[in-house]
A and B are shown apart, each in its own frame.
Chain A
Amino acid sequence: MLRQAQRFLLSRAAMRWRRPFSTDLAEAPADSKFVDTWKKAVPNIDPPKTPLAFMTPRPPTPSTIPSKLTVNLVLPYDSLLSAKEVDMVIVPATTGQMGVLPGHVATIAELKPGVLSVHEGNEVKKYFLSSGFAFIHANSVADIMAVEATPLDQIDSSLVQKGLTEFTQKLNAASTDVEKAEAQIGVDVHSALNAALAG
Chain B
Amino acid sequence: MASYAAVPFWRAAGMTYITYSNLCANLVRQCLKEPYRSEALTREKVHFSASKWVDGKPQKPIIRSDTGEE
Q: What residues make up the interface of A, taking CB atoms closer than 8 Å to B?
A: 77, 94-95, 113, 128, 130-132, 147-148, 150, 154-156, 159-160, 163, 177-178, 180-182, 184-186, 189-190, 193
Inter-chain CB contacts under 8 Å: number: 76
Q: With A and B bound together, what is the CA distance between A132 and B28 in angstroms? A: 13
Per the 8 Å Cβ criterion, residues 4-43 of B in contact with A are: 8-10, 12-15, 20-25, 27-34, 36-37, 40, 43
- B18 → chain A closest CB, angstroms: 10
* Interface membership of chain B positions 24-68, coded 1 if the CB is closer than 8 angstroms to chain A and 0 otherwise: 110111111110110010010000000000000000000000000
Cβ contacts A to B, 6 pairs, < 8 Å: A130-B27, A148-B28, A155-B33, A156-B33, A156-B37, A180-B13
Q: Is the Cβ of B32 less than 8 Å from the Cβ of A147?
A: no
Chain B interface size band reads: 20 to 34
Q: A154-B36, A181-B15, A184-B9 are in contact. Are A147 and B27 (CB under 8 A)?
A: no
- The answer on a CB contact under 8 Å between B14 and A148 is no
CA distance A180 to B28 in the complex (A): 19
Q: Which 6 A-B pairs have the closest CB atoms?
A: A181-B13, A147-B25, A177-B13, A148-B25, A130-B25, A130-B28
Instruction: Identify the interface centre among B9, B21, B25, B28: most chain A CB within 10 Å of its CB.
Output: B28
Verify B25–A163 contact, CB threshold 8 A.
Answer: no
Q: How far is the CA of A147 from the CA of B36 in the complex (A)?
A: 15
* A181–B10 CB distance below 8 A: yes
CB-CB under 8 A from B31, the residues of chain A are 155-156, 159-160, 163, 190, 193
Known: A132-B21, A150-B32, A156-B31. 11 other contacts (CB 8 A): A95-B1, A113-B24, A113-B28, A131-B25, A148-B28, A154-B36, A155-B33, A181-B12, A185-B24, A189-B27, A190-B31
Our pick among B14, B23, B27, B40 for the contact of A177 (Cβ within 8 Å) is: B14
Cβ of A105 to closest chain B Cβ, rounded Å: 14
